[in-house]
Amino acid sequence: MASPQAGMAALTGTLAGTRQGMISFTQQNEQEADRIGIQVLQRAGFDPQAMPSFLEKLLDQARYSTRPPEILLTHPLPESRLADARNRANQMRPVVVQSSADFYFAKARALGMYNSGRNQLTSDLLDQWSKGNVRQQHAAQYGRALQAMEASKYDEARKTLQPLLSAEPNNAWYLDLATDIDLGQKRANDAINRLKNARDLRVNPVLQLNLANAYLQGGQPKAAETILNRYTFSHKDDGNGWDLLAQAEAALNNRDQELAARAESYALAGRLDQAISLLSSASAQAKLGSQQQARYDARIDQLRQLQERFKPYTKM
């Protein structure tokens, strides 16, 4: 007679073997995906060493943390996978990728204006850039102007930025910071005049928002409204445009249009109930039977349809 314990042991062993086979199969597929990804990076002109470097950073973060990054909970990163990726990258021709000037400007602005914890625009980093190539040197000077502006040292910020702005008067990064400095010193008209003459104003959304904001700060909400109506028509997914438009409409006492603009901001944030509520209020304040009211009602219908589409995915 067969032993029940022996049968259970055999079944457990079979299940364990099957599970181990599934894990090994998954790991092999992930390693193969890594190899394909490295090949794509190399063929596209990027540095293939970037992938193992990124994987190593993920592994280091998991090593010194009680909870690893979420991606590592579903896609484990054993040492063998990292070693395979590094070995594959080492077999390829190294690619030297120079960071663009925009990269350094964006990094300086992100660290300088949205810093938290260890991620800050430090003097050590700026000193390091000052000793680098021309792009890094310009970014270092831009970063110092940004530091001064954030500390409300506007005269120092202007003095630091001015040589860069004089050399490249149409550089959007410099114009953006110059606008912040002007508005910090209550010199909205200076910002308006500079931005109106910017070569890339018609094609650069950052400059358009800067000009609209300068008009608002300078007490010219009607001019801001004109720009922002065009802007939000072309950039419906930019919450900054809707927020500024709501401010402009509020300054013009256009209550229904203010509510409608704020509703779009809520909709972009996924807060559809609040967006619908604001649009309903806007519709109630619009002239009965007007085109404006019809537009609000149509938008309410769109958002309700969107609610229905996403209802199955809403957590209870």
Inside any domain, residue 108: no
Please check the confidence at residue 107 and state whether its pLDDT lies above 60: yes
Q: Is the pLDDT assigned to residue 117 strictly greater than 70?
A: no
Q: Diameter of the chain by CA atoms?
A: 98
pLDDT value at 56 more than 80: yes
Q: Kindly report, residue by residue over 144-162, the tens digit of the pLDDT.
A: 999 999 999 999 999 999 9
DSSP 151-211: TT-HHHHHHHHHHHHHH-TT-HHHHHHHHHHHHHTT-HHHHHHHHHT-TTTTT-HHHHHHH
What span, in angstroms and rounded, lies between the C-alpha atoms of 225 and 215?
9
Contacts 24+ apart (CB under 8 A), 55-59: 55/81, 55/82, 55/85, 56/82
For the residues 16-40, what does the mean pLDDT come to?
65
Judge whether residue 25 has pLDDT over 50. Answer: no
| Domain assignment present for 133 | no
The yes-or-no verdict on residue 81 having pLDDT over 70 is yes
What would the pLDDT profile of 199-208 be if each residue is shown by its tens digit?
999 999 999 9
Asked if the structure places residue 72 within a domain, the reply is yes
Mean pLDDT for the chain? 87
Centroid of chain to Cα 88: 32
| Domain count of the fold of the chain | 2
Query: Which of 54, 79, 104 finishes a domain?
Result: 79
| Confidence band of 68 (pLDDT split at 50, 70, 90) | low
Q: Is the pLDDT of residue 185 over 60?
A: yes
Residue 290 lies in a domain: yes
- Residue 268 included in any domain: yes
pTM exceeds 0.85, yes or no: no
Average pLDDT over every residue of 281-305 = 96
Average of pLDDT values for 213-221?
A: 98
The segment with the largest mean pLDDT, out of 19-28, 112-121, 239-248, is 239-248
Percent of the chain with pLDDT over 90: 62
Q: Tell me, yes or no, whether 14 lies in a domain.
A: no
247: nearest Cα among 219, 270, 267? 219
Residue 286 belongs to a domain: yes
Question: Which of 34, 64, 79 lies at the terminal end of a domain, its last residue?
Answer: 79
Are 164 and 178 within 8 A, CB to CB? no
Give me the torsion for CA of 73, 77, 79, 80, rounded to 10°. 130
pLDDT (0 to 100) of residue 65: 64
- Residue-range definition of the domain harbouring residue 49: 44-79
Residue 54 pLDDT > 90: no
| 274 within some domain | yes
